[in-house]
Amino acid sequence: MEFLPESFNGLPLHPLVVHAAVVLVPLAGVLALLMVAVPRFSVRFGPLIVILGWGALGATLVAKETGEMLAKQEKVPVLHAESGDLMPLFAGVQALLITILWLADRRSGRGLLGILVALLTVVAVVAAGYWVYRTGDSGAQAVWD
């Protein structure tokens, strides 16, 4: 993403951008859990949550790219860099499962396949939430220690 500037008003872009990922990934996850628990909510608000999930993926991709730009200028802990590299994968799986869950609920309700997708969505939400925490905490530790 070479079109991204390295800084904004003298601040590196990465610390500004990561806040979008830190908010959007867990927010999409919490709403996905509500979709799992209440299929009517899934049918009604699913399209918005699907957009939010894919937006969260976009935020993680931009955060990863700006982090790589910042790493060229500053020393970045290995744990933070490796966690940040994997964060779009977790957000992408979460977004994909949210989309599939909404489509399943919209089409035929919760059959066996719908229940399986719902369970996988719960696992993906927990994993993505943990990975956001792990990545953010390692970055914050590097900055504040």
Q: How confident is the model at residue 1 (pLDDT cuts 50, 70, 90)?
A: low
pLDDT of residue 5: 67
Token pair in block for residue 24: 């959007």
pLDDT of 8: 66
Question: For 10-19, what is the mean pLDDT?
Answer: 82
Categorize the per-residue pLDDT at 70 as very low, low, confident or very high, splitting at 50, 70 and 90. confident
Asked if residue 3 has pLDDT above 90, the reply is no
Tell me: pLDDT of 142 over 70.
yes
For the cut 70, the answer to whether the pLDDT of residue 29 exceeds it is: yes
Domain spans, the chain: 19-144
In the predicted model, what is the mean pLDDT of residues 98-110?
A: 89
63 pLDDT more than 90? yes
Q: Within 13 Å, how many C-alpha atoms sit on residue 12's CB side?
A: 16
CA distances from 127 to 29, 87, 133 (A): 10, 10, 10
Q: Which pLDDT tens digit goes with each residue over 30-51?
A: 999 999 999 999 999 999 999 9
Q: Residue 110: pLDDT band by 50, 70, 90 thresholds?
A: confident
Q: Are 76 and 70 in contact (CB under 8 A)?
A: yes
Structural tokens at position 4: 């991204």
Return the half-sphere exposure (C-beta side, CA atoms, 13 A cut-off) of residue 141.
11
Max mean pLDDT range (97-101, 108-112, 135-139): 97-101
Q: Which two tokens stand for residue 33?
A: 């859990």
